[in-house]
Structure 1
């Protein structure tokens, strides 16, 4: 019959600290974190009421479990960070000064091209594209056919495309 005994924590620091520090440092490469994990092993041993047959194995099982917990936490944090970054980038164009200036110049050019359209063509185009009135409604308001409205919109689109240099 084997006798089990509680892990003796007195003098434990001197006996196990160097081995635990080396164990953690080899696996994680961070001395400060190795110190924290070593301290956590001591804390868990101190709180433990478990009777163990082989204290050395028990100590390193705690250390191994701490490393597993650490890896799990890091994976969860990494996945969360990746998710947050993906959400932040989704449907968002990153602005740089050249894009902003270029887009402002295009808008200014579009406004100039709109102003250069004949009055009736411009008004029908704006009512259709920006005010989102139907072609039927525009035709009714101007007393013209729906076909005439379509021709005015097509004319506006062609003139705007030519003015913007898009064919």
Structure 2
């Protein structure tokens, strides 16, 4: 019986990329993260994303793969920063003894906002508009004066009236 010669193995483009880049990607992530588990996870993520692409049409696979790896690191860094900031805020709230999501605090805050909104509506239109532009929209007083065709001192008087009215209204409602 004739001897069968082994068939040459055809390696898929994805498998070629995996063999070629997995060690380099692992080294890339390990240098930056210092954690073998995280490096493995991010390397795997690169290859998961590659499977969703047409690998045969990739012109510069090395540049593309390492740009993808750098983007994954940036995304990871952003997520970690958000998580860190959230934890820091939560700890600060815990240490202050305040629960910002406590229903009574939420209700009191809503009531304060409603009182403020009511006090704003009670102002004359021009005064209210100048106050909103200055305090909420951060428009310069000179620009407000120009927009209303008035002097800077008139704008200042309107702003002072608005602040006095709002302060009285908020204090009276307490």
Q: Scaled by the length of structure 1, what TM-score is found?
A: 0.48
Larger relative contact order (Cα-Cα within 8 Å, sequence gap ≥ 6): 1
Rg larger in 1 or in 2?
A: 1
Q: Scaled by the length of structure 2, what TM-score is found?
A: 0.46
